Amino acid sequence: MITASLVLFYVAGALTLGGALGVVMSRNIVYAAFALLASLMGVSGLFLLAFAEFLALVQILIYGGAVVIVILFALMLTRVEDFEHLSDNRQWPVAAVVAAALFALIAATIVGTSVRTTVRQGISFEALGRSLFTEWAVPFEVASLVLLVALIGAIVMVRTTGGRD
């Protein structure tokens, strides 16, 4: 029987897989960043179907917004001269074989595993917020510092040495 949630699952899954293929197969890095955004939106749709509203919101705001914007800013700050002598990697057939073998292993594991079905239910935002801001506040702050250091490092690396900075 086809239900609305099954249709939404297939749409979100197709968006996720299509965006992921766009990231991997795109020759233009800007198009790859936008394909990553599409893939992340599909993942947020999957989170919504699993009654994980907070994770869907974080997926859209943090990953879909902030990370893709940081990638685009890093691309704009990168010197074009660094990529003039770039060529295709000759080891792509080996990578394709390894990827196909890994896909076959994961597919065989999924097919061979039984699925338990339970009633889905969400968690209240109040309980989630209390847990995040009491038990997990320090890891979130450390992660934000790591991202800040990475952004500052990217700016320092692409900065020109002559003239005013």
Encode pLDDT of 105-127 as tens digits.
999 998 998 877 777 777 787 88
Distance between CA 8 and CA 2 in Å, rounded?
A: 11
Cβ-proximal residues to 40 (8 Å cutoff; 6+ apart), any chain: 19, 59, 60, 63, 64, 68
pLDDT category, 16, cuts 50, 70, 90? very high
Q: Which CATH architecture has domain 1-82?
A: Up-down Bundle (1.20)
Provide the pLDDT for residue 103: 93
Distance of CA 8 to the CA centre of its chain: 20
Q: Write a three-state SS string for the chain.
A: CCCHHHHHHHHHHHHHHHHHHHHHHCCCHHHHHHHHHHHHHHHHHHHHHCCCHHHHHHHHHHHHHHHHHHHHHHHHHCCHHHHCCCCCCCCHHHHHHHHHHHHHHHHHHHHHCCCCCCCCCCCCHHHHHHHHHHCCHHHHHHHHHHHHHHHHHHHHHHCCCCCCC
Per-residue pLDDT tens digits for 52-100: 888 898 889 888 888 888 888 877 777 666 666 666 678 878 988 999 9
Structure tokens at 118: 């339970």
Token readout for 20 is: 């992921």
The pLDDT-based confidence of 162 (bands split at 50, 70, 90) is low
What φ, ψ does residue 33 adopt, rounded to 5°? -65, -40
Q: What's the pTM?
A: 0.64
Q: CA-to-CA distance for 111 and 86, rounded, in angstroms?
A: 41
- The percentage of the chain sitting over the pLDDT mark of 90, rounded to a whole number, equals 28
